Amino acid sequence: MNSKADLLQGTLDLLILKTLALEPMHGWGISLRIQQISKDVLQVQQGSLYPALHRLEQKGWIDAEWGDSDNNRKAKYYRLSRSGRKQLELETSNWERLSAAVRQILETA
Amino acid sequence: MLKVKLMSKIFQFRLFSLFRKRRVESELVAELRFHLEKQIEVNIAAGMSPTDARAAALRLFGGIEQIKEDCRAVHRLNLIENLLQDIRYGARGLMRTPLLMLVAAVSIGLGIGANITIFSLFHAVLLDGPTARKPEHLMHVVAGNSNQISYLNFTDLQQSELFDTLAAYKADPENLVNLRFGNETKAVYSQFVSANYFDLLGVQLILGRAFAANEARPEADPHLVILSYGCWLRRLGGDAAILGRVLNLNGHAYTVLGVLPKDFRSVIGYGVAPELYVALNRELMPYLETRAGNALNMIGRLPDGATRAQISAALRVVVRRLAKQYPDDNKNFEQVRLKAVSGLDRLNGNDDLPVLLFFTLLTIVVGLVLLIACANVAGLFLARGASRRREIAIRLAIGAGRGRVVRQLLTETLLLAVVGTALGLLFDWCAAALLVRIPLPLPVPIEFHLALDHRMLFYALALCALTTLVCGLVPALQSTRSSLTPALKQELAQFSHRRLTLRNVLVAGQVAVSLVLLVTSSLFLRSLLVIGHTDPGFDIDRTLTAELRLPPNRYTRSQGETFLEQAVDRLSQLPGIASAACANYLPLSFNDRNDVVRVDGDSEAQFNPAEQVVGHDYFSTMQVPVLRGREFSRRDREGAPHVAIINETLAHHHFAEQDPVGKRLIYGWGDHTEPIEIVGIVRDTKYLTLGEDQREILYLPYLQYGVLTGGSISLVARTQGDAPRRFLTAVKQSIRQADPTVALEVHIMRDILALAFWPTRFMTTMLGVMGALGLLLAMVGLHGVISYAVARRTNEIGIRMALGASRAQVLRMILADGLSLVAAGAAVGLLVSAAATGPLSALLAAGVRTLDPLIFAGVTLALALVATGSSLVAARRSMLIDPIIALRYD
């Protein structure tokens, strides 16, 4: 378990927005996708995922609707809204600035 | 705009959340279930059995309830929900110990009630503005060369039209009118006002109408009067046909135009309530044509949109013009001042300082009482918190945040505080109803309107919030701080004394505060006793007084002289009356006048003795011994050389070893000085209050210095027997026969004197009640602490007894713990009292020392006795402990 990196504060929102930028998805799908793409390095705790989803929905960055999943099961799908897309751009550039700065320090110091 | 939209959206969402709570909840459950099922499928696909797969998925999931709770928090679904839940839970918790909670609520109620009452009194006396339309636009206006202005200057200012309306009222401190009704004539406190006075205020009368501008011009010599509600009801029996009726005022006919509403507050403030409002006319204001005759106070209404500074500046220009236009009459005519009619702004630094101090003292006292009540309740909640450690620990363990638990505990306190505040409002309502009924022994009528308005409610709410925080926050924080494990195992922190430190400090603090209150009230009580035994220096057992008031301008000087001589003679010839005399006023009657005097030949040492103007035989009537020389006689009248009598103290201070009789004083200052010869020395008497330090008094003969053309005069008569009350009617009739238009009040001296006790008696009662209340609350707190200590230490006591400690030893141990708290509190209280009572000496009778060891020792002893009693009751339970049961107590 310890080999898996904990999510940095605030990065979960960014990851969710990025994941949803591709296509609408339910919570399970989001957690799966993040895990897959990060090659199992990042594992999203459900305890943080769902409150984060509800928080983003509250802020209007994602919209939710109920849709059909496999086996005719209903699932709550989240979709990136227009303001969410803007927020994603903003947070992406913020993240890039931050990681570049951290890399700079690690390489020179 | 955007913000408003956002706010409304959030609000809508909240409402939506509240109503659609069920849907949100079921969606949440469905969403999480979907996730869980997916995880189980994955696990089964990886080869687990369905049961294992489910367990593993759940494990991975963490606390589902916690996730739900976090999601709900995002939706703010919980805010109102939680509050309601907390209130329900809190109410249940409080109801578990109903008696204890009732005591707590009542003590908070008493504390808050006392605070609201004092605040509303403070507000009514000092801050409240007059009854008026938009009173914030009204200003007291001072312009010219004194605080008052002449009628001519006033009309000129009026014509400048700087103000929306500028009105005036006569500023005579003795605004009395002789109101004759039936066969009684009474001096009635009135206000003499300009025609537009009620237009300025914009007050709706309950009967009739206000003065019209033309009919009530002073030049037209109007005889019109408007009655206060109280005057109409009490003096005229609430006569429904009062409008247009003619009243006899000062012997002249005045027509009643209207009646003011019941809760009308005058512009004078302090609750002063004139009974009559009379339109200014030539009789009330004879100097209409004298530009230098300053007699009016002005009130103006600022025009809409104008600021005080603008009007002030414009007024300055007009004032300067008036000064230039009438250089002879308007000397030094340059002052301009606007002052609000309500709020702190209306207070007058020097004049209102004693009243302000008085209320500050009262506010501190009731604040302390509330603090004691709060300390009690806080102690109660500390104890509850300690005994609920297990419950709180479980809540924390299953995932409640500390903030959440603190909020829950605070809700309980809030609930209690709200109940307490409601009780407080009830107490205040009763106290206000009582207070307005107390007749105040003051020369002018005072009415307070202590209605509970929005300001009082706001104050009550603020107190409620404060109480909640003071009572609840510390206990809530403390009881959620405990480490979980021992609490869960239900281990009591048996031998750690630290847990109760805060509560102990609270109890000690209560003891300290109540000690301070008790010491203070005892000082006032001592003061009252001293005053009660003070000899005023004159006969109070056989004397009667008659306060009369001649209608102004009805008598010439010689007519007045004749009337007075005859009245005194007639009085002294009544059967059973030994002698009679007159004076401008009697000692101890709230009148105080000073003179400027120096000893002839000594130009340096000017001094200011108290002054009294008295007639012949005054000293023999009052039984004040003449020590040297003679007393005034009939021959000391106008035309004869001016003479004076001084009291011992004046003689002692300014004539040292010499004999003052025959020496001369220079009376007055500046250009208005005259020599007076001292003809006698009399024994000291009290002058303004019984508690005062002995003052220097200068007596002047009435027929030389008294006012004879109208105004107030006091007569005094001494009976031969000991029952002066029997002569009240005879004295009244004898004076009324001389002139029925003379306003008259006859009392025996003892009754008048009772008034002199009033301020001290009030303070004594007030502080005594508060001190007793504080002590009672502190004892409840002490009892609680000791009871709790006994319960907590049952186990320990069991061990001690099993090891051979006797019951007496155990009792002593518990008592010692309790009493050490009391001792600590008392020590602090004594120190604070010693420091705090110093400034009180001004309010106490002369000769009462603020550091009276007898009082300090007495109060401490009384407190110790009560505390021991209260501790014994609580500690007794420790003796009933059976060691066998106690050891199994866990």
User: What's the pLDDT score for residue B613?
Assistant: 94
Are A58 and B75 in contact (CB < 8 Å)?
Answer: yes
CB B471 within 8 A of CB B377: yes
Contacts of A50 in chain B (CB under 8 A): 31-32, 35, 67, 70-71
CB B409 within 8 A of CB B97: no
User: What's the pLDDT score for residue B20?
Assistant: 62
3-state secondary structure of B97: coil
Over 60: is that where the pLDDT of A3 sits? no
The residue among B528, B440, B539 whose CA lies nearest residue B749 is B539
Q: In the Cβ-directed half-sphere of B579, how many Cα atoms lie within 13 Å? A: 12
Q: How far apart are CA B256 and CA B254, in angstroms?
A: 7
Write the single-letter amino acid at B451: A
User: What's the pLDDT score for residue B4?
Assistant: 60
Degrees, nearest 5: CA angle B225-B258-B164: 85
Q: How far apart are CA B198 and CA B780, in angstroms?
A: 55
Mean per-residue pLDDT of chain A: 83
DSSP B843: G
Token couple for B453: 């308005």
Q: What is the CA radius of gyration of chain A?
A: 15
Token match 């281990």: residue?
B491
Q: B714 - beta bridge partners?
A: B547, B583
Are B71 and A69 in contact (CB < 8 Å)?
Answer: no
Task: Give the predicted TM-score (pTM) of the model.
Answer: 0.69
Write the single-letter amino acid at B823: A
Write the single-letter amino acid at B426: L
Terminal C-alpha separation, chain A: 30
3-state secondary structure of B299: strand
Minimal Cα distance from B74: which residue of A?
A55
Element (H, E) at B193: strand B184-193
The minimal CB distance from B27 to the residues A28, A31, A76 is found for A76
The residue among B670, B674, B705 whose CA lies nearest residue B600 is B674
Contacts of B38 in chain A (CB under 8 A): 28
Degrees, nearest 5: CA angle B257-B259-B261: 150
Pairing of strands B296-301, B165-170: antiparallel
Contacts of B30 in chain A (CB under 8 A): 74, 76
Contacts of B75 in chain A (CB under 8 A): 54, 58
Over 60: is that where the pLDDT of A5 sits? no
Distance (Å) from the alpha carbon of A74 to chain B's nearest alpha carbon? 8
Q: What length is written for chain A?
A: 109
Token couple for B481: 């701080």
Write the single-letter amino acid at B715: L
DSSP B135: G
Percent of chain A at pLDDT exceeding 70: 90
Extract the residue ranges of chain B whose pLDDT is less than 50.
493-499
Q: Is A47 on the interface with B (CB under 8 A)?
A: yes
Where do the structural domains in chain A lie, given as residue ranges? Answer: 11-108
Domain boundaries A11-108, CATH class: mainly alpha
Minimal Cα distance from A56: which residue of B?
B74
Contacts of B67 in chain A (CB under 8 A): 46-47, 50-51
The minimal CB distance from B67 to the residues A26, A51, A58 is found for A51
3-state secondary structure of B77: coil
User: What's the pLDDT score for residue B13?
Assistant: 56
- Residue of A13, A44, A45, A50 to mutate, testing the B interface (most B Cβ within 10 Å of its Cβ): A50
Over 70: is that where the pLDDT of A7 sits? no
Q: Report residue B635: phi and psi, to 5°.
A: -80, -15
CB B761 within 8 A of CB B528: yes
Terminal C-alpha separation, chain B: 64
Mean per-residue pLDDT of chain B: 83
Contacts of B60 in chain A (CB under 8 A): 46
Q: Is A46 on the interface with B (CB under 8 A)?
A: yes
Are B71 and A58 in contact (CB < 8 Å)?
Answer: no
ipTM for the complex shown: 0.84
Q: Is A51 on the interface with B (CB under 8 A)?
A: yes
Element (H, E) at A66: strand A62-68
Please enumerate residues of B whose Cβ is less than 8 A from a Cβ of A: 13, 27, 30-32, 34-35, 37-39, 60-63, 66-67, 70-71, 73-75
User: What's the pLDDT score for residue B685?
Assistant: 93
When pLDDT is averaged across residues A81-104 and rounded to a whole number, the result is: 89
3-state secondary structure of B297: strand
CB B247 within 8 A of CB B225: yes
DSSP B272: B
Minimal Cα distance from A31: which residue of B?
B35
Q: How far apart are CA B493 and CA B385, in angstroms?
A: 13
Distance (Å) from the alpha carbon of A37 to chain B's nearest alpha carbon? 18
Q: How far apart are CA B509 and CA B781, in angstroms?
A: 11
The minimal CB distance from B32 to the residues A45, A50, A55 is found for A50
DSSP B695: P
Q: How far apart are CA B436 and CA B448, in angstroms?
A: 6
The minimal CB distance from A50 to the residues B37, B60, B67 is found for B67
CB B499 within 8 A of CB B482: no
Q: How far apart are CA B841 and CA B126, in angstroms?
A: 24
Distance (Å) from the alpha carbon of A47 to chain B's nearest alpha carbon? 5
User: What's the pLDDT score for residue A4?
Assistant: 45
The CA-atom distances, in angstroms, between B79 and each of A54, B203, B405, B778, B881 are: 16, 47, 14, 37, 47
What's the 3-state SS for B546-593?
A: EEEEECCCCCCHHHHHHHHHHHHHHHHHCCCEEEEEEECCCCCCCCCC
CB B177 within 8 A of CB B187: yes
Contacts of B73 in chain A (CB under 8 A): 51
3-state secondary structure of B191: strand
User: What's the pLDDT score for residue B795?
Assistant: 79
